[in-house]
Structure 1
């Protein structure tokens, strides 16, 4: 499940992922992304992973192919998680994005929030 929890600034999307995400979950965020882009802003995405188990493969592939079109519009991505494999997502995502991507542990949530909002 992907829960949109808050929008701190007009270009910061805050989400919490739990369980296994599917295509329906990922489609929830696309209207927010497009509304940010329509304002001419770069996207900053705070993604907190609580009991996150990954993606259904079809959802991952669909989201990946859609986001490649917008990869230049991401400015920062904060990944906040609890498992070692989640920190590897920074390594996996970096070649596909111009965004500054950074991993934080759940104990560093406040630091991640400050970082995603900072200029």
Structure 2
């Protein structure tokens, strides 16, 4: 008998206009998962004029998305893409690296793939340096 494992852990930390959203996924993301993720994110940014979101995804146990969940992910990027400063995807599969690169098309910030949790979290903590 095969056991299908699915679950997620979500964390939200808000300090003024700065938000750290963490997500650890096990199994395949579903439409129902996005029914939980999106309201939590929207609640965290409610009342902030210019939110600055750093997003950490532990995808080491992620197996992919259901088709409808992939559509939900695209809608999330299109509706809140200007609010994402950095998205760090910690994973262990080549397709996850490609997903991070594609993700940059839908957000104003950066998305990067990491094979090290420590490197991913360090990158999220780095301050953005002014261009001048």
Q: Which residue of 2 aligns with 1:3?
A: 9
TM-score (norm 1): 0.85
Higher normalized helix content (fraction of residues): 1
Matches of 2:121 and 2:12, distance apart in 1: 11
Q: Deviations over 1:5-55 (max 9, x none)?
A: x44554001111111110111222223321332242211110011221100
Residues 7 and 14 in structure 1, CA contact (< 8 A), matched pair in contact too:
yes
Matches of 1:7 and 1:70, distance apart in 2: 16
How many pairs were matched up?
116
- Please list every run of 5 or more consecutive structure 1 residues that lacks an aligned counterpart in the other structure: none
Q: Which runs of 4+ in 1 moved over 4 A?
A: none
Matches of 1:12 and 1:44, distance apart in 2: 5
Residues 81 and 107 in structure 2, CA contact (< 8 A), matched pair in contact too:
yes
The farther-off stretch of 35-44 and 17-26 is 35-44
* Higher relative contact order, chain-length normalized (CA < 8 Å, sep 6+): 1
Q: Which residue of 1 aligns with 2:105?
A: 95
TM-score (norm 2): 0.78
Q: How does 1:72-91 map to 2 (within 5 A)?
A: 72-91=82-101
Larger Rg computed on CA atoms: 2
Residues 12 and 44 in structure 2, CA contact (< 8 A), matched pair in contact too:
no
C-alpha root-mean-square deviation of aligned residues, in Å? Answer: 1.7
- Please list every run of 5 or more consecutive structure 2 residues that lacks an aligned counterpart in the other structure: 1-6, 128-132
